[in-house]
Amino acid sequence: MKQVYILYSPGLDIYYKGQTSDLDERLKYHNSGYETSTSKGVPWTLVWSTAKATRQEAMLLEKKLKNLSWVRLEKFMSKYSEGLSESIIKDRIIRISQ
Protein backbone atom coordinates (compact mmCIF):
# COMPACT_ATOMS: atom_id res chain seq x y z
CA MET A 1 0.00 0.00 0.00
CA LYS A 2 1.35 3.42 -0.95
CA GLN A 3 0.41 6.77 0.54
CA VAL A 4 0.10 9.95 -1.49
CA TYR A 5 0.46 12.97 0.77
CA ILE A 6 0.44 16.74 0.90
CA LEU A 7 2.53 18.60 3.46
CA TYR A 8 2.21 22.25 4.41
CA SER A 9 4.92 24.64 5.63
CA PRO A 10 3.44 27.54 7.61
CA GLY A 11 6.78 29.37 7.51
CA LEU A 12 6.96 29.37 3.71
CA ASP A 13 3.19 29.10 3.14
CA ILE A 14 3.67 26.35 0.54
CA TYR A 15 2.55 22.78 -0.07
CA TYR A 16 4.76 19.80 -0.86
CA LYS A 17 3.34 16.72 -2.60
CA GLY A 18 4.81 13.21 -2.51
CA GLN A 19 4.22 9.48 -2.18
CA THR A 20 5.72 6.84 0.10
CA SER A 21 5.18 3.43 1.63
CA ASP A 22 5.84 4.71 5.21
CA LEU A 23 4.18 8.07 5.81
CA ASP A 24 5.32 8.52 9.42
CA GLU A 25 8.98 7.93 8.54
CA ARG A 26 8.76 10.15 5.47
CA LEU A 27 7.31 13.03 7.50
CA LYS A 28 10.12 12.65 10.06
CA TYR A 29 12.65 12.70 7.21
CA HIS A 30 11.18 15.87 5.70
CA ASN A 31 11.26 17.55 9.12
CA SER A 32 14.84 16.42 9.84
CA GLY A 33 16.22 18.94 7.35
CA TYR A 34 18.13 16.28 5.38
CA GLU A 35 15.83 16.47 2.36
CA THR A 36 17.18 19.30 0.18
CA SER A 37 13.83 20.10 -1.43
CA THR A 38 12.03 20.54 1.91
CA SER A 39 14.76 21.64 4.36
CA LYS A 40 13.84 25.34 4.20
CA GLY A 41 10.18 24.65 5.04
CA VAL A 42 10.69 22.87 8.38
CA PRO A 43 8.44 22.23 10.22
CA TRP A 44 6.16 20.47 7.75
CA THR A 45 2.66 19.40 8.73
CA LEU A 46 0.72 16.59 7.10
CA VAL A 47 -2.50 18.12 5.75
CA TRP A 48 -3.85 15.47 3.35
CA SER A 49 -3.20 11.84 2.47
CA THR A 50 -4.79 8.89 0.74
CA ALA A 51 -3.84 5.26 0.20
CA LYS A 52 -3.30 3.72 -3.23
CA ALA A 53 -3.01 0.00 -3.95
CA THR A 54 0.05 0.21 -6.20
CA ARG A 55 3.11 2.40 -6.62
CA GLN A 56 2.00 3.14 -10.18
CA GLU A 57 -1.35 4.55 -8.96
CA ALA A 58 0.43 6.59 -6.28
CA MET A 59 2.93 8.02 -8.75
CA LEU A 60 0.16 8.96 -11.18
CA LEU A 61 -1.79 10.85 -8.49
CA GLU A 62 1.39 12.51 -7.19
CA LYS A 63 2.17 13.76 -10.70
CA LYS A 64 -1.35 15.14 -11.09
CA LEU A 65 -1.14 16.93 -7.73
CA LYS A 66 2.25 18.44 -8.56
CA ASN A 67 0.77 19.95 -11.73
CA LEU A 68 -2.11 21.70 -9.93
CA SER A 69 -2.03 25.40 -9.08
CA TRP A 70 -2.39 26.45 -5.43
CA VAL A 71 -6.11 27.19 -5.86
CA ARG A 72 -6.83 23.95 -7.74
CA LEU A 73 -4.86 21.95 -5.15
CA GLU A 74 -6.93 23.41 -2.32
CA LYS A 75 -10.14 22.74 -4.27
CA PHE A 76 -8.96 19.14 -4.78
CA MET A 77 -8.36 18.74 -1.02
CA SER A 78 -11.79 20.24 -0.34
CA LYS A 79 -13.44 17.82 -2.76
CA TYR A 80 -11.63 14.84 -1.22
CA SER A 81 -11.78 16.18 2.34
CA GLU A 82 -11.82 12.72 3.94
CA GLY A 83 -8.03 12.83 3.48
CA LEU A 84 -7.60 16.14 5.35
CA SER A 85 -5.78 15.98 8.66
CA GLU A 86 -5.22 19.58 9.85
CA SER A 87 -8.14 21.69 11.10
CA ILE A 88 -6.43 25.01 10.27
CA ILE A 89 -6.01 23.96 6.66
CA LYS A 90 -9.54 22.52 6.61
CA ASP A 91 -10.98 25.91 7.61
CA ARG A 92 -8.92 27.69 4.95
CA ILE A 93 -9.88 25.23 2.22
CA ILE A 94 -13.56 25.29 3.11
CA ARG A 95 -13.54 29.11 2.83
CA ILE A 96 -11.86 28.92 -0.58
CA SER A 97 -14.32 26.37 -1.94
CA GLN A 98 -17.40 28.37 -0.93
List of domains in the chain? 2-88 (3.40.1440.10)
Q: What is the pLDDT of residue 78?
A: 84
Q: What is the pLDDT of residue 83?
A: 79
Task: Check: CB of residue 8 under 8 Å from CB of residue 25.
Answer: no
Q: What is the pLDDT of residue 91?
A: 60
For the residues of 55-89, what is the DSSP string, one character each? HHHHHHHHHHHHTS-HHHHHHHHHHTGGGB--HHH
CA 82/CA 63 separation, integer angstroms: 20
Please state the rounded mean pLDDT for residues 82-96. Answer: 62
Q: What is the pLDDT of residues 33-80, one digit of tens each?
A: 998 999 999 999 999 999 999 999 999 999 999 999 999 998 899 888
Is the pLDDT assigned to residue 89 strictly greater than 70? no
Is the pLDDT assigned to residue 96 strictly greater than 60? no
pTM: 0.86
Q: What is the pLDDT of residue 29?
A: 96
Residue 56: CB atoms within 10 A of its CB come to 10
Q: What is the pLDDT of residue 81?
A: 82
Give the total residue count for the chain: 98
15 three-class SS: strand
Q: What is the largest CA-CA distance in the chain?
A: 38
Phi, psi at 10, each rounded to 5°? -65, -35
Task: Check: CB of residue 18 under 8 Å from CB of residue 26.
Answer: yes
